[in-house]
Chains A and B, each alone.
Chain A
């Protein structure tokens, strides 16, 4: 089956790149013999490749050398646990060689911090458990826990009594910086 221009055009570059199977290359060659427009397209492709080949040759002739010791440095960092910037969510590029020991130190520090954190969490959990037990014990003994919450060792004073005392002080002319909700209601 003969090839038409629409099929031939996209194949020209692959043909010039040596990437067409012999069957497709044969069909394209046959089409190119008959079609002036597609032959022009093939010449276009050849011309463009000359820009790239000159640039490629220039690259290999004038490329900056790889910094000395690069491979050893990268291998050392890889084996010291550095996983690369994007994987650890760092913002800016540009950190230098000192990053590897810093990262290792930070890792050690994080391990230490996580030990402290574990201790604090455990202690908090135990304290919360004890407070719950104390509250239950108080309720079982029949005391008014809510009304008698106190931070000192003295005999508990009911909250209502404290508020009444404060209101008396207010009424006696002592300046209060902010009215209590109870006194606001009274006004």
Chain B
């Protein structure tokens, strides 16, 4: 019978005791998810690899301070997102677009581009290929302020529970709820702004 895979916390303890292979196993376990997460911040494969590598190197140096209240995975996501954002800032590619404070400007620009806020959100056209839907979705996400993009990525791509999102971002569950609500409204607005052909009644 095959042995059950070791728990993250065992591998963390073994890494701290000096076992390089245990750390390698942790990296192997989460590398694909970290690559997928970081690809939401840059599409350049060399940059993605650099940021993920940096994420794991930072995780290793900060491992003695790892608080086991959150899971190793959410802790790692937090480091990865901060590393990606630091990288973009250093490159002058500020991920936050727009001058407004997203937490305060609730609905300030919802319905921008002269669109009534009551326009229904379109479902993807059944004739579109899945790859095309994905391309449009990512293009719209790229246009959102980072604070909204990140919360949507964690929920819709990483499929994280609200509590985990709260842990990653260091915010309350209530803030996760309201931020997701606004992020989806922004996504809908931006989708209709970029693709008015999806709007109901458009001809």
Tell me the A residues contacting B by CB distance below 8 Å. 9-14, 17, 19, 40, 43-59, 61-64, 66-67, 70-79, 82-87, 91, 93-94
Contacts and interface: CB of A to CB of B under 8 A. Distances in A.
B12 interface: no
B121 interface: yes
Nearest to B25: A71
Contacts of B188: 44, 48
B178 interface: yes
Which secondary structure dominates chain B's binding surface? helix
Given A74-B56, A79-B20, A59 B83 contact: no
A19 B161 contact: yes
Given A40-B120, A52-B152, A66-B35, A77 B137 contact: no
B113 interface: no
Interface in B48-71: 49-58, 60-61
26 contacts: A10-B178, A13-B184, A14-B162, A14-B180, A17-B180, A44-B120, A44-B188, A45-B121, A48-B184, A51-B140, A51-B187, A54-B124, A54-B130, A54-B133, A56-B159, A57-B134, A58-B130, A58-B133, A63-B35, A66-B32, A70-B27, A74-B57, A78-B56, A78-B60, A84-B58, A91-B90
Nearest to A52: B156
A76 B20 contact: yes
A57 B47 contact: no
The 8 closest A-B pairs by CB, nearest first: A58-B134, A84-B57, A52-B156, A75-B24, A71-B27, A78-B60, A44-B121, A55-B137
Interface residues of B, number: 61
Interface string B151-179: 01001110101100000000000000110
Nearest to A62: B131
Contacts of B140: 51
Given A13-B181, A70-B31, A86-B58, A48 B162 contact: no
Contacts of B157: 52, 55-56, 59
Contact of A82 (B31, B57, B121, B130): B57
Interface of B: 20-21, 23-25, 27-28, 31-32, 35-36, 39, 45-47, 49-58, 60-61, 83, 86-87, 90-91, 118, 120-124, 130-131, 133-134, 136-138, 140, 152, 155-157, 159, 161-162, 177-178, 180-181, 184, 187-188, 191
Given A10-B177, A64-B45, A87 B20 contact: no
B48 to A, nearest CB: 9
Given A40-B120, A57-B130, 18 more contacts: A10-B178, A48-B184, A51-B123, A55-B137, A59-B157, A66-B31, A66-B35, A71-B25, A75-B20, A75-B27, A78-B60, A83-B58, A83-B61, A84-B58, A86-B54, A86-B90, A87-B61, A93-B51
Contacts of A72: 24
B187 A78 contact: no
A94 B50 contact: yes
Given A52-B157, A82-B57, A9 B181 contact: yes
A115 B66 CA distance: 35
Contact of A59 (B25, B36, B46, B87): B36
B56 to A, nearest CB: 5
A86 B83 contact: yes
Contacts of A76: 20
